[in-house]
Amino acid sequence: MGDSIKSRIIARLLELAEPLRQGKELLGPAGYRVIERKRTLFLIEPVKPALHLVIGDEDVVGHQDSDNRGFTMRFPAMWKSMVSDARDAYRLSDGTAAYLQMAIEADGQLSQLANIINYIGELPFTDEALKPDGGTVVMYEVEYRRYRGDPTRSY
């Protein structure tokens, strides 16, 4: 059995962020040292700059009795960028948010896997325990359809 549609969406989101590891013009020569999926937004990453993809709880959209073929599912996908102040946290966070918005919203492969990818917003933050470290959280809501009994197929 192949990967579920949700797993493929998450894998594609991580692939889209990989160019941020090299940095280039956006981040300077270093880029992000860590890009990975985590379970919560509240983890502190000892290695910075770091970019975490956090996937929230999934739920069914609408009434299940209105469509006998399958389900419309939705889940939040949040990118948390964590930067030390020595790396110009504001510039790095703003550039990362812009890059993620362009990459996610314009990606043809992702739009074939998901029905809707809604941009929810951006939340800049300062880490109170590690001042002056900070970053931003870029938030999306992802909707996709899957057949009943087969999470690997969309309709």
Given a contact cutoff of 8 angstroms between Cβ atoms, the answer to whether 32 and 20 are in contact is yes
> What's the pLDDT score for residue 12?
98
Report the Cα–Cα distance between both ends of the chain, in Å, rounded. Answer: 18
Does a structural domain hold residue 50?
A: yes
How far, CA to CA in Å, does 139 sit from each of 60, 88, 107, 111, 122? 19, 22, 16, 17, 6
Q: What is the pTM of this model?
A: 0.89
User: For 83-142, how does the pLDDT look when each residue is reduced to its tens digit (9 = 90+)?
Assistant: 886 667 778 888 899 999 999 999 999 999 999 999 999 998 877 666 667 889 999 999
Res 116: pLDDT: 95
Total count of domains within the chain: 1
Residue 153 is assigned to a structural domain of this protein: no
154 within a domain of the structure (yes/no)? no
Q: Indicate which CATH number applies to the domain containing 128.
A: 3.30.70.1700
Q: Is residue 87 part of a domain?
A: yes
Q: Which domain holds residue 88?
A: 5-63+70-147
Q: Are 96 and 78 in contact (CB under 8 A)?
A: no
Kindly tell me if the per-residue pLDDT of 65 is higher than 80. Answer: no
